Structure 1
């Protein structure tokens, strides 16, 4: 009993001295930037939906990629990337570590249609209607 009491007292003393918090801290730690990020659309207006957009130019060819997060009716989040360049336009839909890339086939009445094999994606405004065989999935663009 005396031995266990001595061991527990030594462990407690070690614990109390090693857990001393130093308030001065590391002076090289970067402080948190509290500035607000505002995303603007192509017209300079503040965009109400969070998105990530990038434009690259290689050999005079511009490529624009725009990432959005969509939410299915069951609550599943899906990453959707629209890619536009001078040669092609397509959409890449990623969910559950699987990515489906569909080329743009047509645009009519404010609706853009992407199609490959038996999969069709119809994009109109903030909604994306995904069809594969008899399965239909409704997705809505969401704020992060």
Structure 2
């Protein structure tokens, strides 16, 4: 009886020790760099729309960030992030892992223009028009 109990306790202890999980993972594997956008509205719940905004304050200086998803006529989706700081206002357009950051140059009659080099973005309501040389791309804010 003592031998049976000793074998059962030894087997249980061995199985508990051998089933321990290594939290560090396999060092030979590469981690996949992913960026997932989750939008949380002001009350802390996940927003069903693809827009979000946040306001942060550091040393009394507020930074407001708003993100939206825009859709081109061909169905291409573009992430647009508007950032307002005390020093500048910018628009960042991300598509195909490339981001273009454009500073605001003027606002007039409900229309805001951002420009850097030969890329110009005009925002009016829910539409955004990108102008790069001879290319005009019309985008509309969307819900995915």
Range class of TM-score, shorter chain: 0.5 to 0.7
- TM-score where L is the length of structure 1: 0.66
Cα RMSD of the aligned pairs, angstroms, is: 2.0
* Structure 1 consecutive aligned stretches of length 4 or more whose deviation exceeds 6 Å: none
Is the CA contact (8 Å cut-off) linking 2:131 and 2:137 kept in structure 1? yes
1:107 aligns with 2:107: yes
Correspondences of 1:55-134 after superposition (within 5 Å): 55-134=55-134
Hey, what's the Cα distance between the residues in 2 that align with 1:48 and 1:128? 22
List alignment gaps of at least 5 residues for structure 1.
Answer: 1-36, 41-46
Q: Matched residue pairs, number? A: 102
* Residue equivalent to 2:51: 51
* Residue equivalent to 1:26: none
Hey, what's the Cα distance between the residues in 1 that align with 2:40 and 2:61? 28
CA 1:96/1:86 → structure 2, altered by over 3 Å: closer, same or farther? same
- TM-score where L is the length of structure 2: 0.66
C-alpha deviation, 1:48, in angstroms:
9.6
Hey, what's the Cα distance between the residues in 2 that align with 1:49 and 1:136? 27
Is the CA contact (8 Å cut-off) linking 1:63 and 1:85 kept in structure 2? yes
* Residue equivalent to 1:138: 138
